[in-house]
Amino acid sequence: MERTAGAGRGAGKVLSMREAVAAFVHDGDTVSLEGFTHLIPTAAGHEIIRQGRRDLTVVRMTADIVVDQMLAAGCVTRLVSSFVGNSSAGSLGELRRRIEHADPEPLVFEEYSHYGMVCRYLAGAQRLPFYPLRSYAGSDLPSVNPGIRKVTSPYPAADGSTEDIYVVPPVHPDVTFIHAQRADRRGNTQIWGLTGVQAEAVYAAEKAVVVVEELVADEVIRADPNRTLVPAHAVDAVVLCPRGAHPSFAQGYYDRDNAFYRAWSAISKDPARLRGWLEEWVYGTADHAAYVAKLGEEFWAGLAVGEAPSGSVDYGRRL
Amino acid sequence: MSGDRTRSTRAVTSSELLSVVAARELAGRRTVFAGIGLPTLATELARLTVAPGIEVVYESGVCGAHPSHLPETIADAVLITGAEAVVSMATLFGSVLQGGHIDVGFLGAAQIDRWGSLNTSVIGEWESPSVRLPGSGGAVEVMANAREVFVVMRRHTPRSFADVLDFCTTPGPDRALADGIRPLGAGVTRVITELGVLARAGVGDELRLVAVHPGVSVEQVRAATGWELKTAGRLATTAPPTSAELRLLRDDVDPNRVYLR
């Protein structure tokens, strides 16, 4: 039986990026942008910049180019992250100026490791008070991050001894943005390739916005339910935004723009050049479609990928 | 072929030497957690020589990759297409790493100390650093959970081989023990540098010089190390890369010299 969309989460979920950011991102909010090197929600970050949001806490495991851009645009006062670098391609100029010289203003930084971040999302998604992990013993990180604490396990270890373990607190973003290959209009979201921490980041959040390369018919999703990483009940808005993960990639859609990653170190190193880049590519484009058009078809042809379809499985049906 | 001969007799570069030495150290290892770059070269060469069944697990969640091209990053799309498995971050760090499935983890660092603890966070004070570095990534988890860790350091200087780390991002097992938590792995067991190889066995043991590369003296390595470096009883000289190793590395593993800079 077809389930119709409910009054709350369900009806009218398909929004433009402008509408989604206007509705779900407010000054002072905690905003998670996830996608582990793949499917990075860059277009969402750019629209947050265009709308001039301020005092955001950004939560992102690998704070890379899009975070550097949001920092440069003055959107962010606090960063929660486990890797603050430009992939393996170099430095984030604005982030380094903010942390090393408080230039043009300080940045509060909560430093974790990757699994610490994953555990914060898991605790947030599961409404747990904390999440234990076998990391941080002997690290200086707990001394600069009071969120990382040590507790004594209530259970004896295998050899009967008492066991201490570090824990991290839950994170509950006001809104999480993820980018995905496709979803239906109600938000059933399918991702393939690197799946990162997207599902946990969505479930940890109060609101979730899924940005997709393609909006597809219900039948497409239902032909392969195991590929749905995020079910519609967890999604508040669906935004159609092709090529919205550039300069990262979307498996099966377009490749990573490695040249831009390499270029970013030089662009971001010079504050004036970075402001110029934002003026031209973010403030100077009305939306992501304009950014895509400005890059031009020849550019996109250079990131085109060939086909490598999955094998299909047989879900069977009752006779 | 005369072309092959030219290739295999060309002078050995530092990257080639580091890759060959690291590959030899992987003999008998089964699962390796590695990034892109020198570890890629080392594991691919090991697969063709001393460790045919080796499986690389990437921090992006890819297991059993069969890339059509040499990957440029741990998230290169060519690692995913045709791979044996791709897992989520929760599965990768929680079940694969913390679950104890990794034999050797490859890590790099801005600073390493004699106990194999690593700094990848800051140069200077954490609150107002002179250089902000990228941070842990998954290094804290790799050190805490892999059976052992290999560190490749292109540059061997007193600043990078530090008596005292500016900041300990990723603690070795001795620091974990001092914090009251029993470590699961041996921590850093090999450090492969431009000058030689340092090794330690596990908890309570400090890094000692076990081999110098051809043409390098013990004094040179000591002078480049920020602590009083001890030398193993039997100090070896690294056997130079064989023509077979060089041929595989140059012709099969990285013919376009993506990482063989």
ipTM of the complex: 0.94
H/E stretch holding B198: strand B196-199
Please tell me the predicted confidence (pLDDT) of residue A11.
52
Question: Residue A160: which pLDDT band, with cuts at 50, 70 and 90?
Answer: very high
Residues of chain B neighbouring A200 (CB-CB closer than 8 A):
89-90
B6: which 2 tokens? Answer: 């030219």
Q: Are strands A56-59 and A76-81 parallel, antiparallel or unpaired?
A: parallel
CA dihedral B98, B100, B106, B107 (to 10 degrees): 30
* Cβ–Cβ gap B73/A118 under 8 Å: no
Residue A158 reports pLDDT greater than 70: yes
> Looking at domain A14-112+171-297, which CATH architecture does it have?
3-Layer(aba) Sandwich (3.40)
Please tell me the predicted confidence (pLDDT) of residue B3.
44
Residues of chain A neighbouring B171 (CB-CB closer than 8 A):
136-139
pTM of the model: 0.95
Can you tell me the mean pLDDT for B25-48? 92
* Cβ–Cβ gap B134/A111 under 8 Å: no
Please tell me the predicted confidence (pLDDT) of residue A5.
40
B151 Cβ contact list (under 8 Å, min separation 6): B106, B107, B108, B109, B112, B116, B118, B188, B190, B191, B192
The whole-angstrom separation of Cα B61 and Cα A186 is: 28
Q: How far is B191 from chain A (nearest CA, A)?
A: 20
Q: Tell me if B18 is assigned to some domain.
A: yes
| A164 neighbors B180 (Cβ within 8 angstroms) | yes
What is the domain extent for residue B30? 2-253
Please tell me the predicted confidence (pLDDT) of residue B77.
92
Q: Tell me if B174 is assigned to some domain.
A: yes
Please tell me the predicted confidence (pLDDT) of residue B228.
98
* Cβ–Cβ gap A138/B129 under 8 Å: no
Please tell me the predicted confidence (pLDDT) of residue B8.
55
Residue B4 reports pLDDT greater than 60: no
Q: Choosing from B25, B59, B148, B245, which is the catalytic residue? A: B59
State yes or no: is B72 an active-site residue: no
For chain A, the average pLDDT equals: 95
User: Where residue B231 sits, what CATH number does that domain have?
Assistant: 3.40.1080.10
Residue of A nearest to B115 (CA): A138
Residues of chain A neighbouring B141 (CB-CB closer than 8 A):
113-115, 133, 135
H/E stretch holding B190: strand B188-193
Among the partner-chain residues A37, A194, A200, the one whose CB lies closest to the CB of B90 is A200
* Cβ–Cβ gap A140/B74 under 8 Å: no
Residue B130 reports pLDDT greater than 90: yes
Counted domains in chain B: 1
Q: Tell me if B42 is assigned to some domain.
A: yes
Residue of B nearest to A97 (CA): B132
pLDDT in tens, A238-275: 999 999 999 999 999 999 999 999 999 999 999 999 99
Q: Tell me if B40 is assigned to some domain.
A: yes
* Cβ–Cβ gap B141/A114 under 8 Å: yes
Residues forming beta bridges with residue A250, ordered by sequence position: A254
Residues of chain B neighbouring A166 (CB-CB closer than 8 A):
181
Q: Tell me if B47 is assigned to some domain.
A: yes
Asked whether the bond before B39 is cis by omega within 30 degrees of 0, the reply is no
Please tell me the predicted confidence (pLDDT) of residue A99.
98
Can you tell me the mean pLDDT for A119-133? 98
Q: Tell me if B260 is assigned to some domain.
A: no
Q: Tell me if B259 is assigned to some domain.
A: no
Residue of A nearest to B174 (CA): A138
Secondary structure (DSSP) of A236-249: SEEEE-TTTTTTSB
